[in-house]
Amino acid sequence: MKIITVASCKGGCGKTTTALNLAACYGWEGHPVLLLDLDPQGHATLGTALDCRDDPGLYEVFARRMDLEDVVIPDVVAGIDLVPATRSLGQAEALLADWPREKELALRLGPLAGAYRYAVLDCPPSLGLLTTNALLAADLVLIPVEMSLFGLDSVERLLAHMARLEARYETAIPFRVLPTMVDRRTRLARAFLRELWARYPEQVLPVLVHHTVRLREATCRGLPIIDYDAESAAAHDYRQLARLLAAEPAPRAAEALPAHEPEAVPA
Ligand SMILES: Nc1ncnc2c1ncn2[C@@H]1O[C@H](COP(=O)(O)OP(=O)(O)OP(=O)(O)O)[C@@H](O)[C@H]1O
Ligand SMILES: [Mg+2]
């Protein structure tokens, strides 16, 4: 199982749209995919038009009351199983901080490794413990960046956070940068793209997601773009992204997992 974490501390840069559509592309190709909604806002869950706010979810998993597989909702979209963001996820940061645990998610994902070809993790727009867990579980971190100064700044902050984690756990966290919501007709967008390529020449992907209202329309219908409009530019962008990432670094071994974990969380 290859774990792709979609992360940025910048709100509204296209994380959820990217996570959903990337997962959908893999599902469409016939690969079993697990989509994890780690954002208490629950937008990825909302995007699948499910009503499961009161179900058990990741909080119960982190509290060691349930296994991850017990909170998976199968086949929410063709080929995609979902770990939804439920109401209790809002308490998860506090729960993880109590312990504190930064590799709980990596540990919980382990038993599902044989069941899925891909896991796609959608993060909240923050650098809290949910995001940290997703970063440390990742084989690859995908950073969507919208073309703005705040967008560029957020990449720096995320990378600084990742560098601290890499040093703390003596591990490497590979990442790729994905320009999103790009309107190439504007001079400003082209300038930001050039800046992005200059800063991260090795990591900026040779694909970008164009700005298009079709993605918003698809979300409103609870559909991934490949189901809503398979011939649209956005569907093309996400198919290309899925192909590129499929060839990215192979999954890491479980070498980074701690040998001993406490048995239960304090109530
Ligand atoms: N390429 C795009 N073109 C036009 N609109 C887009 C594009 N990508 C995403 N959007 C829209 O922008 C808004 C924010 O996108 P999204 O929810 O994916 O961002 P996010 O980073 O997950 O936000 P948050 O930080 O709140 O979780 C949504 O309304 C979405 O439909
Ligand atoms: Mg989101």
Q: How far is CA 108 from the centre of its chain?
A: 16
Residue 125 CB–ligand 1 contact under 6 Å: yes
Q: How far is the CA of 214 from the centre of ligand 1 (A)?
A: 12
- 254 has pLDDT over 50: no
Over the Cα atoms of the chain, what is R_g? 18
Asked if 140 and 25 touch (Cβ cutoff 8 Å), the reply is: no
Domain assignment of residue 256, yes or no: no
Residue 45 placed within a domain: yes
> Which ligand is nearest to the Cα of residue 144, counting in written order?
1
With the most atoms of ligand 1 within 8 angstroms of its CB, the residue from 17, 210, 229 to mutate is 17
State the average pLDDT over residues 167-186. 96
Q: Name 253's Cβ contacts closer than 8 Å, sequence gap at least 6.
A: none
On whether residue 114 sits in a domain, the answer given is: yes
pLDDT in tens, 210-232: 999 999 999 888 899 999 999 99
Residue 182 lies in a domain: yes
Distance 30 CA to ligand 1 centre (A): 26
Sheet of strand 175-180, all strands in order from the earlier edge strand to the far edge: 73-77, 80-83, 33-37, 118-122, 2-6, 140-146, 175-180
Count of domains observed in the chain:
1
pTM for the full predicted model: 0.93
The model's pLDDT over 139-159, given as tens digits with 9 standing for 90+, comes to: 999 999 999 999 999 999 999
Residue 102 lies in a domain: yes
11 lines ligand 1 (CB under 6 A): yes
Q: Is residue 251 part of a domain?
A: no
Q: Please work out whether the CB of residue 22 comes within 6 Å of at least one atom of ligand 1.
A: no
In the predicted model, what is the mean pLDDT of residues 181-196? Answer: 94
Amino acid identity of 164?
A: R
> Is the minimum distance from the CB of 2 to ligand 1 under 6 angstroms?
no
State the Cα–Cα distance between residues 251 and 204, nearest whole angstrom. 20
Ligand 1 atom with minimal separation from the 18 CA: 18
| CA gap 218, 222 in Å, rounded | 6
Report the distance separating Cα 119 and Cα 111, nearest Å.
13
Residue 112 sits in a domain whose CATH number is 3.40.50.300
Of 215, 219, 228, 236, which is best to mutate to test ligand 1, by the most ligand atoms within 8 angstroms of its C-beta?
215
pLDDT value for 249: 64
Closest-approaching ligand to the CA atom of 214:
1
Residue 127 lies in a domain: yes
**DSSP SS3 for 261:** coil
CB-CB contact of 119 with 245 (8 Å): no
51-55, 192-196, 202-206, 249-253: range with lowest mean pLDDT: 249-253
Indicate left, alpha or beta for 203 from its phi (over 0: left) and psi (-120 to 50: alpha).
alpha
Q: Say which DSSP state 228 is in.
A: H
Residue 164 lies in a domain: yes
Residue 48: per-residue pLDDT: 79
Res 206: pLDDT = 94
* Alpha-carbon distances, residue 17 vs 12, 119, 138 (angstroms): 9, 15, 19
Burial of 193 (0-12, 13-18, 19+ CB in 10 A): middle
> Coil, strand or helix: which one is 80?
strand
Q: Where is average pLDDT lowest: 173-182, 195-204, 234-243, 258-267?
A: 258-267
Q: Which atom of ligand 1 is nearest to the CA of 125?
A: 25
37 beta partners: 122
User: Residue 83 belongs to what domain range?
Assistant: 2-245
DSSP assignments along 119-162, one per residue: EEEEPPSS-SHHHHHHHHH-SEEEEEEESSHHHHHHHHHHHHHH
